[in-house]
């Protein structure tokens, strides 16, 4: 049996954690929602943090170590070269998205997204005074070029600048966009004069059978931006840092980013993220094997416990998007921008009746209602217990 970072911690040990996943709900709830993983830190990352603490090295971040580490990783894993001179450290991915959108658009301008999509895309974009325009994914959970073209046309119609916030790989469907799909995106973006910002936070978490393509590596994407971070793949969300990368034609835009933005990431975050990209391959490969097993296990658990629910194994991320519409829990969601922890429909029902916390589909925008998102980055025992509880509650209700 090979080592699996997802099998190291017991439920009692996990319950001692004080982060959002483990504290947002009472202790009888099994949390399979927010994208934190139930793993220990990769040993080399923990070592780098311990050294910094022991040395009192807790000042402000400085230098290009994160960009160089991301660059080496991108070269090793994706055969892609990052130009370190065209990068900037940013506080985290979402703050980086906001800062890049400020370079490319003005208040009142439009930002196109592909629902169902990571819920904070709506909140961050609209809190910064930009309009969100939806280009829904196609029925297979993939980018629909016709919907994208229509949204680009609609977004640009009143005049003003348009940006497109791409999620690559896509949260919550786990779709890993192919080179051909991304080339089509780039062609449309050029045709409609739309600037692309590619959120690539899940890029290292691509499971066997698929290959991640950096958006900036495709022809036509030279004027785009990408955001990268180790926070999903190595579970470092509490250690704030991310990297903004400009394509060659966007380098001048990046130079307009205020210097103060680079004071936002924490120095410990930059150290940890850089160490993960530099020396975390072996740990990551073990994680990916574990996630591949869990992705299969999830198929069995859905078939056994939740008949009628549809599950398409994700190609990347540790998030599974379950279509629960046949269960008939049609509770209406509140209007307006939803917070990640808002609950309606099946997620509300499973929390109330099975004491399992899932992400509620409605927060992911158009097409999300009636779905739930399951974070399967946990142990086999916890997944089996959660789905057994849900199955039992469902059978008792029928
Ligand atoms: C697509 C996507 N972007 C951004 C984030 C958040 O990243 P950060 O905490 O670095 O802002 C997440 C977290 O799950 C995510 O899934």
Q: Which two tokens stand for residue 14?
A: 């996990």
Give me the pLDDT at residue 328, please: 87
Under the banding of pLDDT at 50, 70 and 90, the label for residue 334 is: low
Give the lowest-confidence range in 69-78, 236-245, 325-334.
Answer: 325-334
pLDDT band, very low/low/confident/very high, at 333 (cuts 50, 70, 90): low
User: CA–CA separation, 347 vs 360, rounded Å?
Assistant: 5
Distance 1 CA to ligand 1 centre (A): 32
Label each residue of the chain as H, E or C. CCCCHHHCCCHHHHHCCCCHHHHCCCCCCEECCCCCCCCCCCHHHHHHHHHHHHCCCCCCCCCCHHHHHHHHHHHHHHCCCCCHHHEEEECCHHHHHHHHHHHHCCCCCEEEECCCCCCHHHHHHHHCCCEEEECCCCCCCCCCHHHHHHHHHHHHCCCCCEEEEEECCCCCCCCCCCHHHHHHHHHHHHHHCEEEEEECCCCCCECCCCCCCCHHHCCCCCCCEEEECCCCCCCCCCCCCEEEEECHHHHHHHHCCCHHHHHCCCHHHHHHHHHHHHHCHHHHHHHHHHHHHHHHHHHHHHHHHCCCCEECCCCECCEEEEECHHHCCCCCCCCCCCCCCCCCHHHHHHHHHHCEECEEHHHHCCCCCCEEEEECCCCHHHHHHHHHHHHHHHHHHC
Question: Distance (Å, rounded) from C-alpha 34 to C-alpha 182?
Answer: 27
Substitution candidate for ligand 1 out of 20, 120, 123 with most atoms within 8 A of CB: 120
CB of 375 within 6 A of ligand 1: the answer is no
pLDDT for the residue 289:
98
What average pLDDT does this structure show over 182-193?
98
Q: pLDDT band for 332, please (50, 70, 90 cuts).
A: low
Residues 6+ positions from 280 with CB-CB distance below 8 Å: 42, 44, 45, 230, 233, 234
pLDDT band at residue 11 under the 50/70/90 scheme: very high
CA 47, 49, 55, 60 torsion-angle sign: positive
Query: Mean pLDDT throughout 84-97?
Result: 98
Give residue 335's pLDDT.
66
Ligand 1 binding pocket mutation candidate from 91, 94, 127, 212 (most atoms within 8 A of CB):
94
Q: Is the pTM of this model over 0.85?
A: yes
Residue 192 has pLDDT above 90, yes or no: yes
Whether the per-residue pLDDT at 1 is higher than 60: the answer is no
For the cut 70, the answer to whether the pLDDT of residue 171 exceeds it is yes
pLDDT score at 354: 98
* pLDDT confidence tier of residue 199, bands split at 50, 70 and 90: very high
Q: What pLDDT, on a 0 to 100 scale, did the predictor assign at position 331?
A: 62
The sign of the torsion formed by the CA atoms of 176, 224, 367, 145 equals: negative
Query: In whole numbers, what is the pLDDT of the chain averaged over residues?
Result: 96
Q: Is 167 in the pocket of ligand 1 (CB under 6 A)?
A: yes
What is the per-residue pLDDT for 344? 78
Decide whether any atom of ligand 1 lies within 6 Å of the 93 Cβ: yes
Residue with more model confidence, 2 or 49: 49
Q: Is the pLDDT of residue 341 over 80?
A: no
Pick the atom of ligand 1 nearest to 167's CA: 1
Query: What's the confidence (pLDDT) of residue 340?
Result: 73
Percentage with pLDDT > 90 across the chain: 94
Which residue, judged by its Cα, is nearest atom 13 of ligand 1? 35
The whole-number average pLDDT for the span 349-373 is 96
Quick one: average pLDDT of 188-193? 98
């Amino acid at each position: 049996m090979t080592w699996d970072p997802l099998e190291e911690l017991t439920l009692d040990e996990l319950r001692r954690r004080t982060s959002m996943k483990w504290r947002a709900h009472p202790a009888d709830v099994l949390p399979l929602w927010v994208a934190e993983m139930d793993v220990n830190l990769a040993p080399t990352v923990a070592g780098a943090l311990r050294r910094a603490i022991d040395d009192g090295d807790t000042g402000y971040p400085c230098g290009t170590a994160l960009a160089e580490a991301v660059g080496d990783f991108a070269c090793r894993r994706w055969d892609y070269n990052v130009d370190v001179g065209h990068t900037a450290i940013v506080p985290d991915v979402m703050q980086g998205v906001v800062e890049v959108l400020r370079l490319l658009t003005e208040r009142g301008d439009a930002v196109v997204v592909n629902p169902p999509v990571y819920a904070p895309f709506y909140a961050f974009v609209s809190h910064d005074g930009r309009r969100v325009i939806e280009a829904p994914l196609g029925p297979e959970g993939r980018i629909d070029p016709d919907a994208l073209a229509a949204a680009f046309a609609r977004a640009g119609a009143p005049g003003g600048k348009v940006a497109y916030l791409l999620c690559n790989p896509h949260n919550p469907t786990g779709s890993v966009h192919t080179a051909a799909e991304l080339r089509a995106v780039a062609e449309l973006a050029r045709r409609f004069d739309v600037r692309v910002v590619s959120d690539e936070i899940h890029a290292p978490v691509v499971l066997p059978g698929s290959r991640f393509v950096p958006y900036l590596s495709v022809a036509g994407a030279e004027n785009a931006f990408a955001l990268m971070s180790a926070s999903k793949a190595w579970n470092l969300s509490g250690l704030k840092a991310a990297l903004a990368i400009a394509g060659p034609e966007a380098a001048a835009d990046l130079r307009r980013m205020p210097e103060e933005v680079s004071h936002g990431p924490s120095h410990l975050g930059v150290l940890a993220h850089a160490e993960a990209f530099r020396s975390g391959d072996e740990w990551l490969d073990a994680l990916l094997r574990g996630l591949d097993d869990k992705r299969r296990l999830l198929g069995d658990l859905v078939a056994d416990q939740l008949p009628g629910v549809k599950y398409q194994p994700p190609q990347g991320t540790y998030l599974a998007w379950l279509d629960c519409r046949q269960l008939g829990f049609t509770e209406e969601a509140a209007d307006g921008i939803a917070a990640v922890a808002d609950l309606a429909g099946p997620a509300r029902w499973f929390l109330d009746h099975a004491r399992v916390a899932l992400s509620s589909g409605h927060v992911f925008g158009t097409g999300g209602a009636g779905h739930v998102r399951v974070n399967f980055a946990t142990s086999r025992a916890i997944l089996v217990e959660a789905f057994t509880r849900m199955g039992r509650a469902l059978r008792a209700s029928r």
